[in-house]
Amino acid sequence: MRNPVLLLVGVLTLVVATTASAAVVEHTFNVQNLTVTRLCNRQLIVAVNGSFPGPRIRVREGDTLIVHVYNKSPYNLTVHWHGVFQKLSCWADGPNMITQCPMLPGNKYTYKFKISGQEGTLWWHAHVSWLRATVHGALIIRPKSGHKYPFPKPHREVTIILGEWWNANVMDVEDEAVTSGGLPNISDAFTINGWPGDLYPCSQNHMYKLKVEPGKTYLLRIVNTALNGQLFYKIANHNLTVVAVDAAYTKPYVTNIIMIAPGQTVDALLVADQDIGSYYMAASPYSTSVGIPYDNTTTRGVVVYDGAPPIATPLMPTLPAFNDTATAYKFSSSLNGLKDGPHWAQVPKNVDYKMFVTVGLGFTPCEANRTCLGPKGTKLSASMNNQSFVPPKRMSLLQAFYSNVDGIYTTDFPAKPPIEFDYTNATINNYNPAFLFAPKVTKVTKLKFNSTVEMMLQNTAIIGVENHPMHLHGSNFHVLAQGFGNYNPSKHREMFNLVDPQIRNTIGVPAGGWAVIRFTADNPGVWIMHCHLDSHLTYGLGTVFMVENGPTPETTLPLPPVDLPNC
């Protein structure tokens, strides 16, 4: 029999070592107006701590993050920690009127949550209206002390934040679109780390520069924070090795181009293995909707090798056409999860709840005595399974769910479309009123704790086909398969990858196509799933899952924080 004293010492040593490896990381966010100069203009924006993009947060897996947010802006505010699981901390997730009421101007709120079971690149952003255009930043999760990356340690880590810029107040841009019912004005530029690059007016010196040493390896942590711009990203003459997406490790994938949708992150290794010189990095739009305006511009930065001549003209990469769906699909469908790597989760084999969900655009009637600028005098709308989501106004969904308050939502979100049709046939869909007008509702899906959900997301061709980046709060999911046309279970289930599928929190449902995801509802609370094109979320492209408590205190959502904002 083992000596009980030695056994106790060993257990205490383990506890102390485990506790010592975790830390409390604390930040203060002062959110307020800031005047910056871009594209020949001085523009007033809302920013955090006087910087655009906002502060980069660095933590290790297992740490507790505390962020004190002071809303000194003129707008209502919440902050979402995009991709963080928020295990038993749903109150800190941040989406407006889903898990909390907003902080009013002049108020504050403290977010506190533990980061566990995740490593890689995530980000944070405002989750009220279009504020996230400038209120955002990277959230970097490194392995615990003593743990290594599942790839050779890079010489340096570099954050690449891709974004959009308007020569206007973005809140006014959104308000104008909502009021008129038409499309929002497109952005004036794309940006890399807040800088538009030298292809734009007055921007010769407003360009991000990355200095590298020959032969060294750099881990690029790439985040697409754009409101509506899906982007191709490329560095002239260089390959990139993708090692993670959405803070989930992948089997190394070598590519010369990345397609990244709003909300997604990509970790990629860059080896400085070319001749000493300068090389442009560039990002340009991927857009598939025929007849719908988009920002057809290119942002670029520059990779400069140590020893490069100061007056050398950088090489420019060849970028795909704006509608190159083949290149976009090849990238997104070629990724595989790093099976048995850190935090690898096996695909759940048994499915408790199956959903077939259409996603796309449509119309809503114009109000009486109004002139609306949507197609044929209507207002634009968006929906899932012909339900256009409207958040509540007097109480957050989480508060209503937790306190069992009636009259805030209903639990009858349909698990399949109310009408079956030829989903990707634009000729038929554009002229059938039954498909065009979705009711405005607050319908949710209730899920038993630890149940497994399989969701087939089907794009529709109503108004136009688009690549819809769908983001799930509170959980990652396995991407089992994706393809084009109408999903056919008898044929397409053969494509399912049940061994090493990529794991994500945001999936670009292919333009004119479909994607099948699977996840386990093991996190009690209220979790929204929505399109991360902000114009589409504004128009109602979202739904909500309510996950019931588990059988033990360790699987039960705790009381709300005492300082939770009131509506």
Ordered DSSP codes for 324-360: -HHHHHHHHHS-BB-TTSTT--PPP---SEEEEEEEE
Angle at Cα 85 formed by Cα 81 and Cα 91, nearest 5°? 65
Chain length of the chain: 567
- The pLDDT, as a whole number, for residue 7 is 39
* Positive or negative: CA dihedral 207, 211, 216, 218: negative
CB 62 within 8 A of CB 116: yes
Domains of the chain are 21-147 (2.60.40.420), 151-338 (2.60.40.420), 353-555 (2.60.40.420)
Which regions in the chain score pLDDT beneath 50? 1-19
User: What local confidence, expressed as pLDDT, does residue 92 receive?
Assistant: 98
CA 286 from centroid of its chain's CA atoms: 17
What is the Cβ-side half-sphere exposure of residue 221, based on CA atoms within 13 angstroms? 22
Neighbours of 211 (CB within 10 A): 12
Question: What pLDDT does 298 receive?
Answer: 98
C-alpha 503/C-alpha 520 separation (Å) is 12
- State how far the Cα of 158 lies from the Cα of 138, in Å rounded to an integer: 11
pTM: 0.95
* Two structure tokens written together for 200: 């734009």
Q: Name the token pair of 157.
A: 């880590």
What pLDDT was estimated at residue 311? Answer: 82
Q: Alpha-carbon distance 182 to 366, whole Å?
A: 11
What are the tokens at 415? 């698990």
**Residue 267: which of 315, 233, 310 has the closest Cα?**
233
C-alpha 472 chain-centroid distance: 8
Distance CA 557, CA 13 (A): 31
The residue with tokens 């090849």 is 330
Assigned token pair, 257: 């181009």
What CA–CA distances, in Å, run from 7 to 10, 15, 17, 132? Answer: 5, 12, 15, 52
Q: How many CA atoms lie within 13 A of 65 on its CB side?
A: 29
Q: In this predicted structure, what is the pLDDT of residue 430?
A: 65
Q: Exposed, middle or buried by CB within 10 Å (0-12, 13-18, 19+), for 125?
A: buried
State the pLDDT at residue 18: 44
In angstroms, the CA 22 to CA 63 distance is 5
Taking the C-alpha atoms of residue 517 and residue 446, their distance in angstroms, rounded to an integer, is 18
Integer-rounded Cα radius of gyration of the chain: 23
